[in-house]
Amino acid sequence: MTIADIQPIRLSLVDTDLPAAAAAFGDAFRRTGFAVVADHGIPQSLIDRALIATRALFALPAATKARYVIPGGGGQRGMTAFGIEAAKGAARADLKEFWHVGRDLPAGHRFSATMPPNIWPDEVPDFHAAVGALYAALDAAGRRMLRAIAVHLQRAPDFFDEPVAEGNSILRLLHYPPVQIAEAGAIRAGAHEDINVITLLLGAEEAGLQLLSPDGTWHDIAAPQGSLVCNIGDMLQRLTGGRLPSTTHRVVNPVPERAAFPRYSTPFFLHFRPDYRIETMPGGPLTAPPITADAYLHERLREIKLL
């Protein structure tokens, strides 16, 4: 199987034929662990604009970027430096640096303590507008996908609407610098599962992303131009008792001819609101006690060395 064999699901199907959309997502997740989504409504011009701002951000001197690291913040906003995050249980840190954008909440909001205000880099004037707009567009696309997933789970179409409307979702702007020989043994991103509900991944221009499919083989994944890839995270796996298993994935190092090239990518980690109780649905292969989304997140942030 290659990504070219996978039929993209048009997201407009959610509006025109929700049962068909539900069946298409369910089938894609069961067969491959992920879904390719076309017609997602995010303009390519916005994606391009956000990438230009992202490149400008990571081109800043390390000392400038270091000013945007928030000590004790678990990497939830602003900059996380190269060599910090590590896949759970991995001996070496990943070969990446990233910037996190969260949801803007009004001052004094009940979630302000767990969802702190964003910070923005002064040095890149368009960053706030471009990346903020990309956050909103991915948030909207993700909520539409969740309508199909809800119906696939035999729930009402709006099952996820309220739990994610003020969700602690994060847009991650990732930069993998060129890979140096000295770093042999480390990998751009070690095999892991995402913590959140679902992840939306726009296409990266450099190869490297691989997903482990249910048949136990790794597949190279690149979202075709104009589409995005959706994978299940651990919170949805836990909620569904494993009926929707989270998708293991990694980013392998470049082939020698591409080693001098950086890689940029932008996963959107869609989360529940912090106080949502994840109560495992009966009938699946896994059981787990109820836990709030925030308690679960913090447990997992410690495992990946962000706390």
Which of 209, 230, 236, 270: binder of ligand AKG (CB under 6 A)? 209
Element (DSSP H or E) covering residue 30: helix 18-32
By CB under 6 A, is residue 174 in contact with ligand AKG?
yes
Stretch that binds Fe ion, among 50-58, 77-85, 154-162, 187-195 (CB under 5 A): 187-195
The Cα 250–Cα 207 span in angstroms is: 11
> What phi, psi does 231 have (nearest 5°)?
-125, 155
- CB 106, min distance to ligand AKG, A: 29
Strand partners for 227: 38
Q: Mapped to the 3 state alphabet, what secondary structure does 207-259 carry?
A: CCEEEECCCCCEEECCCCCCEEEEEECHHHHHHCCCCCCCCCEEECCCCHHHC
Place of tokens 């959140």: 196
**Total residues in contact with Fe ion, by rule CB under 5 A:** 1
- Residue at shortest CB range from ligand AKG: 265
Token pair belonging to 127: 């960053």
Stretch that binds ligand AKG, among 128-136, 158-166, 201-209, 280-288 (CB under 6 A): 201-209
* 10 versus 300: smaller Cβ distance to Fe ion: 300
If contact means CB under 5 to 8 A according to the sort of partner, which of Fe ion, ligand AKG, none does residue 172 touch?
ligand AKG
Strand partners for 267: 201
Which of 77, 143, 249, 271: binder of ligand AKG (CB under 6 A)? 249
> What phi, psi does 68 have (nearest 5°)?
-100, 15
By CB under 5 A, is residue 85 in contact with Fe ion?
no
Bridge-based pairing state of the strands 97-101 and 34-38: unpaired
If contact means CB under 5 to 8 A according to the sort of partner, which of Fe ion, ligand AKG, none does residue 164 touch?
none
How far is the first Cα of the chain from the last one, in angstroms, to the nearest whole number?
38
By CB under 6 A, is residue 237 in contact with ligand AKG?
no
Token pair belonging to 165: 């409307």
By CB under 6 A, is residue 9 in contact with ligand AKG?
no
Q: In the window 30-69, what residues touch ligand AKG (CB under 6 A)?
A: none
CB 208, CB 279: distance < 8 Å: no
CA 92 to chain centre: 21
Which of 10, 172, 243, 300: binder of ligand AKG (CB under 6 A)? 172
If contact means CB under 5 to 8 A according to the sort of partner, which of ligand AKG, Fe ion, none does residue 251 touch?
ligand AKG
- CB 209, min distance to ligand AKG, A: 4
DSSP state of 62: H
Contact residues for ligand AKG, defined by CB under 6 A: 172, 174, 189, 194, 201, 204, 209, 249, 251, 265, 267
Contact residues for Fe ion, defined by CB under 5 A: 194
